[in-house]
């Protein structure tokens, strides 16, 4: 069964696509143009009532929220492709902890930067310079904690690549690329080595080009 993935051009959806690539799961993509408001069409809201991407359809099973989808496939096909959950329940707990850190501490700041630096003009509002400054300061503090963590283990949840690392890929690519804030990664030795490692994975090289 080929998995249908809605909204492939957005960072949250790439979180799902890179997971499917790591697991060797075949997918097809269906574009959704957020700028044109296609996510507010009744047919789309039937799939995803909040009007967000991504959504997947796998036979008659529909699921949304990128971090829920990646957990679903990592568990459903645990022994296929890269194991992204750790070997024990304790390792999975650690994966969950760092997935939550990504969602609660890292993402809100990098999302503000993405929205206000990259997309404000296209979406028709003025970038909030104060919010940009504050978000960058908060993200720097989060990265200081990552630096300490990554001085003690190769990846966030331990010495294995997991959903926790993978979940950082799409928005961090915006940060080091179009946002021109690569210095935030490069000024931290262990974060920099971690970024080189995770962003050079074949799965990400494939998905980041979509």
CB of 168 to a second copy, least distance (A): 15
CB of 49 to a second copy, least distance (A): 5
Question: Any contact of residue 67 with a second copy (CB under 8 A)?
Answer: yes
Question: Any contact of residue 37 with a second copy (CB under 8 A)?
Answer: no
Binds a second copy (CB under 8 A): choice among 27, 29, 57, 72: 72
Window 149-168: residues binding a second copy (CB under 8 A): 149
Question: Any contact of residue 71 with a second copy (CB under 8 A)?
Answer: yes
Query: What residues form DSSP beta bridges with 86?
Result: none
CB of 10 to a second copy, least distance (A): 15
Start-to-end C-alpha separation, the chain: 21
Q: Which is nearer to a second copy, 95 or 179 (CB)?
A: 95
Q: Which is nearer to a second copy, 18 or 164 (CB)?
A: 164
Window 87-106: residues binding a second copy (CB under 8 A): 89-90, 92-94, 96-97, 99-101, 103-105
Question: Any contact of residue 50 with a second copy (CB under 8 A)?
Answer: yes
Q: What does the binding site for a second copy look like in residue numbers (CB under 8 A)?
A: 49-50, 61, 63-65, 67-69, 71-72, 75-76, 89-90, 92-94, 96-97, 99-101, 103-105, 142, 145, 148-149
């Amino acid at each position: 069964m080929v998995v249908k993935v809605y909204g492939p051009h957005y960072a949250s959806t790439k979180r799902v696509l890179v997971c499917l690539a790591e697991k060797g799961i075949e997918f097809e993509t269906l574009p959704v143009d957020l700028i044109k408001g296609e996510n507010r069409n009744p047919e789309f809201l039937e799939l995803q009532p909040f009007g967000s991407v991504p959504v997947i359809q796998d036979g008659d099973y529909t699921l949304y929220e990128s971090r829920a989808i990646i957990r679903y496939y990592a568990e459903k096909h645990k022994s296929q492709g890269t194991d992204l959950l750790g070997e024990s329940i304790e390792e999975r707990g650690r994966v969950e902890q760092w997935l939550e850190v990504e969602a609660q501490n890292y993402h809100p700041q990098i999302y503000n930067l993405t929205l206000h630096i990259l997309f404000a003009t296209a979406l028709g509002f003025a970038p909030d310079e104060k919010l940009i400054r504050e978000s960058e300061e908060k993200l720097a503090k989060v990265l200081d904690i990552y630096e300490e963590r990554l001085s003690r283990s190769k990846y966030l949840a331990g010495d294995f690549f997991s959903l926790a690392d993978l979940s950082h890929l799409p928005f961090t690519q915006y940060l080091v690329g179009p946002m021109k804030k690569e210095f935030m990664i490069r000024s931290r030795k262990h974060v920099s080595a971690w970024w080189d490692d995770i962003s050079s994975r074949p799965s990400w090289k494939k998905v980041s080009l979509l």
